[in-house]
Amino acid sequence: MNSSVWKRNAAYALSLVPGAFVLGGLCIGGLATWGNVVFSLGFLAVLESILPDNTRTDHSEFRDWMPRFWLWAHVALTLAMLLALFEYLDRHAWASFSGIGAVVSCGIACGSGAVVVGHELIHKANPIEKGAGRLLLLLCGNPYFSAHHILVHHTHVGTDSDCVTAKKGESLYRYIPRSIGGQFVQAWQVETAMQQKKGERVRLWRSHLAQNCFILVLGALLLAWVSIDGLMAWVGVSLIAALLLEYVNYIEHYGLQRQPGERVGPSHSWNSNRTISRFLLFDLSRHADHHMHASKPYHCLDSGLDSPRLPGGYVQLLYLAFRPQKWFSTVDPLLPSNPQ
């Protein structure tokens, strides 16, 4: 691994910083529990708007140790954050100022870290890595994403058959409930259809989605038995993580269309080379190459594709997406079907 590649791989350590702020805030308490809110939604948003694009590739080998190390580090970090949060709320009410700060900070860290890493890992062929990805998503209270993403989203992206592809003129507020509800329905439909295609009776326990829901209900009951405050906090963390996930889903394919049967290409996903998004989110912003080569690890994705470019990074565009008219006036003219 040459020096340039080593530095590029080391830069993904940025993804661990939000979790470090969460743990630090829980150790200090008080106002410090809001540290990751300020860092992730404030400092990083400003920094992303200032730093130039980073289009360098500096690919490393598929099996280099450092990119894989960061993924497993997030598994440990997520467990540590949640355990520290529950321990903190055992001493402080979740509805207090510091308790709310702890929940929001943890939810943001899970949305920017655990969910993103979970997405990366469920694409792995190795069953242990795939299982770790599923675990991360379940820790964030998400039963539907791992069931829907590969079976439906990657197959039907850009078409009317994919509820995750946001339509032109659709606001984030209308998109989120449609996307979440649609993912539950579509995942169940596809899984039952797969069982029927094999000539089998539909068995609930064979459904990935049903298994995930059962695990979550069981976990929630166990947590409620231990601590109602802990359960309420976990629900809060899960809601924030889900909100961030659906925001990312929204901007990744907003307004882009693909005809049924048309091969997935660079024009069906938005790309961004903003430095913060690249290294905070494991190159999720190089999304077109991910959809064209779903098994390619994050550190090998290319940016030099002829894809539509978002007018900013994932962190800074969060504020734009929550203002629908501003989002439409900024992004709609950039859609490939529109004249520039």
Ranking 3-12, 123-132, 195-204 by mean pLDDT, the lowest is 195-204
Whether 339 is covered by a domain: the verdict is: no
Confidence check: pLDDT of 18 > 80: yes
Domain hosting 121: range is 3-334
Whether 196 is covered by a domain: the verdict is: yes
Whether 263 is covered by a domain: the verdict is: yes
Whether 37 is covered by a domain: the verdict is: yes
Confidence check: pLDDT of 232 > 80: yes
What mean pLDDT is reported for the chain?
93
Whether 18 is covered by a domain: the verdict is: yes
> SS3 letters for 50-85?
HCCECCCCCCCCCCCHHHHHHHHHHHHHHHHHHHHH
Q: How confident is the model at residue 274 (pLDDT cuts 50, 70, 90)?
A: very high
Ranking 51-60, 144-153, 156-165, 223-232 by mean pLDDT, the lowest is 51-60
Ranking 67-76, 233-242, 283-292, 299-308 by mean pLDDT, the lowest is 299-308
Q: Return the percentage of the chain with pLDDT > 90, whole number.
A: 81
End-to-end CA gap in the chain:
41
List Cα–Cα distances, 89 to 82, 84, 239, in angstroms. Answer: 11, 9, 18
Whether 210 is covered by a domain: the verdict is: yes
Instruction: Specify the number of domains making up the chain.
Output: 1
**Higher per-residue pLDDT: 336 or 138:** 138
Whether 340 is covered by a domain: the verdict is: no
Confidence check: pLDDT of 263 > 50: yes
Confidence check: pLDDT of 201 > 90: no
pLDDT digits (tens, 9 = 90+) for 95-123: 899 999 999 999 999 999 999 999 999 99
List Cα–Cα distances, 305 to 108, 147, 281, 301, in angstroms. Answer: 30, 29, 19, 10
Whether 246 is covered by a domain: the verdict is: yes
pLDDT of residue 1: 59
